[in-house]
Structure 1
């Protein structure tokens, strides 16, 4: 049977089980088993899934006294035949008692199948065990979850191991057994799409492994992979591993979804129990004003436009329309990751089914949301896995399919190519404070090995691919060139540092010629470290780190003075008009204009309508609307923080901001603020209300700081992610001859610019010019400040101001 090429896979496992059934049934009868006994198959044998070298798990059931020699008359022929046997002799009550103490024994009994003897005895066992399992599910399922987690810790993730354990590793056959056990509780079930096929593929590989090695091994060793592939008719060992990895990911993702569902169900049951307890004691204080949630209500908290949090997951808001909002998958993913959540299974399925492809080039928001997702660090991983499980990643990045599940036959690498790329982005997320363009660092980290899916040198192939990808993402030529440079040379720093003489001027010349500028050098240094640390412990050490850092320091010394800061842009005619008006009237002059990259902009340029409203209030647009705000006002202290605070009160996030000092008519300096803002979620504020609040804040009748504090105190605290701490530095003296430049790099958050402005005002300095950028989830700002007399700050004063801003940002 095992040699017959016509009988393979599940049919062979079933036939092998049936053959074993006949053999054991014959032994049972030949042993003279009396009435009141039954022979029962349990575990994998009970499921009828025997591999060529599987153990036989058998239970001899009995009701009354039993001849002590009866079991031996059954077991000894099995041992003599060379089969591995796991056996037990018990009554139904004894089997239940053992199951109550031993979770593994209980799991095996869930698959009990009658072989011979009294079928009523087997039926009684099955009924009792299933009833016990369902009754004790609230206790047993958390225990089973801990068992699965401990097994994953010991054996790793099947989908990333070069020599995976097909049974015990995360995503292996043991997890399929756990999913079936969860389904038997009737509390939850796994997503079934592709699950049976994935389990069958792993079982087929296990069968071939048993036949190739002649042993009951579960580890797919390197030396066996070619033979196993040939036995299965697969092209080569790499193709075999990709199939194994894809199957394991399907099982692992189904496990994640199912365990989250179990946690929600058990939590709901516990809450019901507490609610019943409170109803039994009506004077325990539960009632109006206690914050208790009414029965039947579902708490939903907004995360982003079209995305809310519910039951610990990110789900679509009731009014979300994926078909009319192609950015929604990325927005939902980014919002979930930044909140430390994952996207619900039903939401990902709906997004995959309904969302349209992104236009080319991508809208600005799509690019920003991708960067925000990657910038979430570790919290990005489960969200990325959810999107990938439904094919959304390959839809966003078609070149991803070539590296997906691609093994790396190198002992240094811990991950498949695709997982290494996202792990590198995770490492890079912790380094965003080291570079002026965190968005470019994160995208380069995600794509640096994308060329490994193509022939030839992967760095050269990757440069070509990343130029195309960056253009489709909507990066301009300068940023595209930077990404191409980073991908092409992501190995240059470490190769040069470890293979060339660092003291040779030619070595430094090589690096400076490659990078060209100090910002490029900073990006390449961070990418090099992220790539190496994501590869594995053998790829990065303190010695390598010191060599690379030394080379970077020498190259930076050569490039010192080439740091660039945003240049002032000449004011437009409208900006000049506002500045003249403010200078002449000595009062604020304000202009607001709504804009959208989608097909609709309000007929009068006003702010009426929400970001997803069309001209009729119902047709969705492809890009949320934003606001361009221009404010000209005679110079006064605290202006930056006040305006930023008003915007935060209206839940407007600052995407870009500029502040310049003008003197258009010689009547005294006027500050010109140019902002690009967007609604955090929900509808944009009415223009009249925003204007009124700005004027009230400027004349002192609206205490912005107090209002923000009250709102923050009243809002429920939401768990978030750990982010790199903010960094506030004083730029080198050559950065500006007329002002001191403070650079602030921090995680973007509501009210961030307000806190910075208040700190600068409290330090007694004037903000002459400011350049504010929000890149994904990171803020990268430069403030040109002077003392009260308009002079650059002394070194000690500049350091004190930087410390004050750092403290204000926490």
Structure 2
């Protein structure tokens, strides 16, 4: 029996109409099968879930419940085969259960997924009486167990968001399971079925859990998400079933094609992501504000009954939240007599009061203020609003629920209309987690937490000593706003800050300093991860750019907060350590040179002698090295080399030792060997073959021709203990002796990798730049992060006979910047540099 089912045959535009048309096709196929089988008595085919709602997308599961009135096992088995096999043959994902109505209700107690499946049910073919019998049993069962069912749904939501995303506005949103996704919308429908006996959003409006405007906004957001999900499935085509539950993840590399399928611009993935982000924001907000009330009522009875017979079970807040405000049900409410027309700061004051206590606005208050703000046009800043807004920022993470209210009310665009461009603006790169304004609010929250001691006493003390922490908070709020306009976002953002801050009139806020914070918010991370911190010239350049210690301290704290708000790929203990060291050194420069930015060679040598008195190995080493080695290495590394350098290594001999690194989750590998060209490349290759990420590498040579190298690395799996490190050291020795093919070892590890690099929205461009100077020059290679990249690049430099003195690797998501410190003649032949650049580009190009 052929069904003729093919989703490609549906001609409707992706969206609700397409889903209804596809559902009708599936209905027709199933109904036809039932008629051919003559199985329309004592049997009913019931659609469940998205199929019941007529929301089938191309990759949706077709969930069926085969209700029967006591058929025999053989007949049921034959029916399932003859009904489901054609659907499976057509490529559909079909889930089915075969039960009587009473068995179905009993089975619902087995898990929340089975229970929620009962809420959406629709007869496709067969005996309607069986579905009516099921409904008569299911509705009272759902209502009796409403409290437990909604509690179970709450737990399931928590698990779902842990995997798919806690906040709306993600750069790669999960359309179904993420915050504000379709599952949140469905959860409200299910809650209505459990609490009110009728599935859908309309019952929630009738029972005053939602307003009519809420209902319209949720429906529009749901249509948007359904349309995008439908188009995404069509774009995926044959790859509808990726590993895990990722079919509904709107990945960066699929966004342009999905937009094109929907007719959004000429395949404008950014515009599509903006629409999805705002839709999920609407759903998430209304879900978060409604769900606690639904849960409380399910557990304890309807709220209007409690209101007359029992006091609210939410704890009363002490003290008044402010003039014209009151506490109600644990939230901030506005007195009926207070209006925005009479008190323009009313909304901002209410939000600040809520933000300081970590609560939200009372629902009726939020809706009333939203209507008043919409009718007020642009609001003028006045003292009460300014003070309240700064208080909101100072509340940090505690204020995030109130900031959700502020977004729903449209408060900031009312005071600053240009903020409309910032709201929901997508950041389409793989290392940012969230959209622009979410990132900005999160940066402010992270900054306040750092000031409270999140990262330690030193950072908290810096925050405490700022002349104006409010200036830094405003700088954090504005640091990336330039991304919403064309051009270099740091330059554009600084210009906007100079325009906005004076017009806002915040008391005590230094507009020029805010602009400098915005202009240079990437300066410290860039220098820390891509420059030689032992170069006095680099430190002086940073000091000149920032201008003063207050700005430097602010930029340091902002860099830490910005990285944490960006996502896990943007920060690490290693990067934090580099930032801290750069900050310390530049601070000494700005302090007027009272002490050097770092210890000189003589001081390092004296400290080494003090820590190892009478050790002839230390004296031998100190007498044979360049002062720059001592400055770069520091005391700990000098002593590590001294322990390995005697006796003099024989030709082909290499000695290695591993110790804890300078930051958490890092290790330092010290290498001593007879100097030879390509030694750093060889070592980098061995480390890559063991899955180690090289963060920093340094290479020096004694007057006697002994190589003194060291590598800061981030361990891979299985290298936390001693045996793993001993294998690394053994392979370094084998490679130096010519007993290990390094390139083959890297290739073998790559073949063993379980995960393939995932596709990106656009290939990472490869760029090679030279910064030629007298002394050490810089060569920077920017490109896609691939296994063994440092090894391949270092080999190219070795073959070009460039003397490499160090390397620093900065990885951000799928991108990497490998910086080499080399000795190159600034007056060298340009053609030679061009050839070297081409060779480096070729080495950085991924092999397919």
TM-score tier, shorter chain, comes to 0.5 to 0.7
Verify the 8 A CA contact 2:468 2:509 in the aligned structure 1.
no
**Partner-residue secondary structure (3-state), 1:324:** coil
> Which residues in structure 2 correspond to 1:768-783 (within 5 Å)?
none
Q: Does 1:306 find its partner at 2:324?
A: yes
User: Using the alignment, how far apart are the partners of 2:318 and 2:22 within structure 1?
Assistant: 52
SS in 2 for 1:114: strand
Alignment of 1:116-135 (within 5 A): 116-135=125-144
1:252 maps to what in 2?
A: 284
Tell whether 2:423 aligns with 1:404. Answer: yes
Between 1 and 2, higher relative CO (CA 8 Å, sep ≥ 6) is seen in 1
Contact 2:150 2:298 in 1 (8 A): no
Pick from 333, 353, 357 the counterpart of residue 315 of structure 1. 333
Q: Per-residue deviation at 1:358?
A: 6.7
Which sits farther off after the overlay, 194-203 or 545-554?
545-554
Shift of 1:199: 1.0
Q: 1:127 to 1:544 in 2, by over 3 A?
A: same
1:109 aligns with 2:118: yes
| Number of the residue aligned with 1:394 | 413
- How many angstroms apart in 1 are the aligned matches of 2:536 and 2:318? 61
Q: Which stretch shows the higher mean deviation, 338-347 or 417-426? A: 338-347
Change (3 A) 1:403 1:82: same
1:90 and 2:99 correspond: yes
Q: Bigger shift: 540-549 or 255-264?
A: 540-549
Structure 1 residue aligned with 2:228 = 205
Whether the 8 Å CA contact 2:366–2:405 is kept in 1: the answer is: yes
Aligned counterparts, 1:213-232, within 5 A? 213-214=236-237, 215=240, 217-232=247-262
- Alpha-carbon offset, residue 444 of structure 1: 0.8
Distance 1:307 1:149, change over 3 A: same
5+ residue gaps, structure 1, are: 280-291, 563-810
1:485 counterpart = 2:503: no
SS in 1 for 2:429: coil
Checking the alignment, whether the CA contact within 8 Å between 2:471 and 2:510 is kept in structure 1 is yes
Shift, 1:494, TM fit:
2.4
Matches within 5 A, 1:353-364: 353-355=371-373, 356=376, 360=380, 362-364=381-383
Deviates more, 1:216-225 or 1:16-25: 216-225
Give the Cα–Cα distance (whole angstroms) in 2 for the partners of residues 12 and 333 of structure 1: 42
2:840 equivalent in structure 1: none
**Partner-residue secondary structure (3-state), 2:131:** helix
2:175 corresponds to 1:169: no
Tell whether 2:358 aligns with 1:343. no
Q: Which residue of 2 aligns with 1:427?
A: 446
Distance 1:409 1:458, change over 3 A: same
Q: Which of 265, 269, 284 is the aligned partner of 1:237?
A: 269
Deviations 1:401-440 (A, max 9, x none): 2222222233322222211111110011122425221111
Give the match's secondary structure for 2:168: helix
Give distance in 2, aligned partners of 1:271 and 1:55.
Answer: 37
Structure-2-length-normalised TM-score: 0.60
Matched residue of 2:56: which SS?
coil
**Quick one: distance in 1 between partners of 2:121 and 2:378?**
51
Q: What is the alpha-carbon distance in structure 1 between the residues aligned to residue 175 and residue 312 of structure 2?
A: 47
Q: Aligned pair in 2 of structure 1 residues 33, 164: CA closer, same or farther (>3 Å)?
A: same
1:518 counterpart (536, 549, 558): 549
Cα deviation digits, residues 55-93 of structure 1 (max 9, x gap): 211111122343333333322333333322111111111
Deviation at 1:196, TM superposition (A): 0.9
Give the 5 Å matches for 1:651-800.
none
Distance 1:442 1:345 in 2: 29
User: CA-to-partner distance for each residue in 1:703-727, whole Å, 9 max, x for gaps?
Assistant: xxxxxxxxxxxxxxxxxxxxxxxxx
Q: Residues 91 and 502 (structure 1 numbering): CA distance in 2 closer, same or farther, change over 3 Å? A: same
The answer to which of 103-112 and 300-309 deviates more is: 300-309
Distance 1:75 1:548 in 2: 61
Shift of 1:151: 0.2
Match of 2:388 in 1: 369
Per-residue CA deviations over 1:261-313 (Å, capped at 9, x if unaligned) read 2244246539999999xx9xxxxxxxxxxxx9599999996212222222122
Structure 2 SS opposite 1:530: helix
Distance 1:550 1:210, change over 3 A: closer
In structure 2, distance between residues paired with 1:129 and 1:494: 59
Alpha-carbon distance, 1:537 to partner = 2.8
The residue that corresponds to 1:449 in the other structure is 480
Deviations 1:503-530 (A, max 9, x none): 4443343333333333222222222221
- CA distance 1:168–1:371, change in 2 (3 Å): same
Matches within 5 A, 1:409-558: 409-430=428-449, 431=451, 432-475=463-506, 479-558=510-589
**What residue is the counterpart of 2:732 in the other structure?**
none
Conserved in 2, the CA contact under 8 Å of 1:264 and 1:311? no
Q: CA RMSD in A?
A: 3.0
In 2, Cα distance between equivalents of 1:53 and 1:478? 53
Q: In the comparison of the two structures, how many residue pairs are matched?
A: 547
When the two structures are superposed, what TM-score results if normalisation uses the length of structure 1? 0.63
